[in-house]
Amino acid sequence: MELNIQFHDVNNVVDKLGSLQRYLENIPFVAAEGRLYDMGDKLIDYIIEIIDSSRKRPDNGSHVLENAWLGNIEELINDPGKRLVIGIGKISKLKELAPYWEVLNDGGYIPPANMGYFGDNFRAPEAGGAGEDWKHTGKGSNFHFMRPSKAIEGIDYIGKSIRQFNKDLKKEVQELGGIWIDGMKKSMQ
């Protein structure tokens, strides 16, 4: 039996569970399948929580990136009783709904210079004013020219969530294996 979660279109496949394989061989597939989907939902919750808690600018309530992850789980392979592969984070959906998804994960991008203002008072950029809400207008004589010089810092929300997922997965697999072993003991008595 093979259970696997991977990020769509990315070669970064979660490990095939290495030393945990001995537990998987004896777990009822349907039970494991259900838990895998639950864990996929939990992984998306981790991603959303990390994005939201890493916010550097005031929240304008749109949550575009977080919403792009919601429901972004897809069954890639389901060979009943033998193999289940689900994908999380379809790249085409992320690019369509939140084209900057990768920049916020990886960082390193310096936005281009543009016209606009800060806050609701049409203020000019101030030195050291990081974290303020910039309104991009693109043109206009009453607005201010801003040339960003600092690259966006990546928040590694995918990596952090995968690391947490791996911890949770190990615990789940061991728990499922324990349930199966307890059931075997009872049936032999």
Query: Are residue 59 and residue 89 in the same domain, yes or no?
Result: yes
189 burial via Cβ count (<10 Å: 0-12, 13-18, 19+): exposed
Query: Are residue 26 and residue 92 in the same domain, yes or no?
Result: yes
Query: Are residue 134 and residue 43 in the same domain, yes or no?
Result: no
CA atoms within 13 A on the CB side of 67: 7
Q: What's the pLDDT band for 79 if we cut at 50, 70, 90? A: confident
Q: What's the pLDDT band for 25 if we cut at 50, 70, 90? A: low
Query: Are residue 70 and residue 56 in the same domain, yes or no?
Result: yes
Query: Are residue 8 and residue 58 in the same domain, yes or no?
Result: yes
pLDDT the model gives residue 62: 84
Average pLDDT on 28-54 reads 85
The DSSP annotation for 56-124 comes to -S---S--HHHHHHTT-EEEEEEETTTEEEEEES-HHHHHHH-TTHHHHHHB---PPPEEEEETTTTBP
pLDDT averaged over every residue in the chain: 75
Query: Are residue 114 and residue 21 in the same domain, yes or no?
Result: no
Query: In terms of residue numbers, what domain contains 84?
Result: 2-108+153-188
Residue from 170, 169, 153, 178 nearest 27 by CA: 178
Could you give the angle at which helices 157-188 and 29-53 cross, rounded to 10 degrees? 150
pLDDT the model gives residue 125: 65
The CA–CA distances, whole Å, from 1 to 28, 90, 189 equal 9, 25, 27
CA distance 48 to 112: 27
pLDDT digits (tens, 9 = 90+) for 105-132: 999 999 888 888 777 777 666 655 666 7
Query: Are residue 83 and residue 15 in the same domain, yes or no?
Result: yes
Query: Are residue 120 and residue 141 in the same domain, yes or no?
Result: yes
Strand, coil or helix: what is 168? helix
Domains held by the chain: number: 2
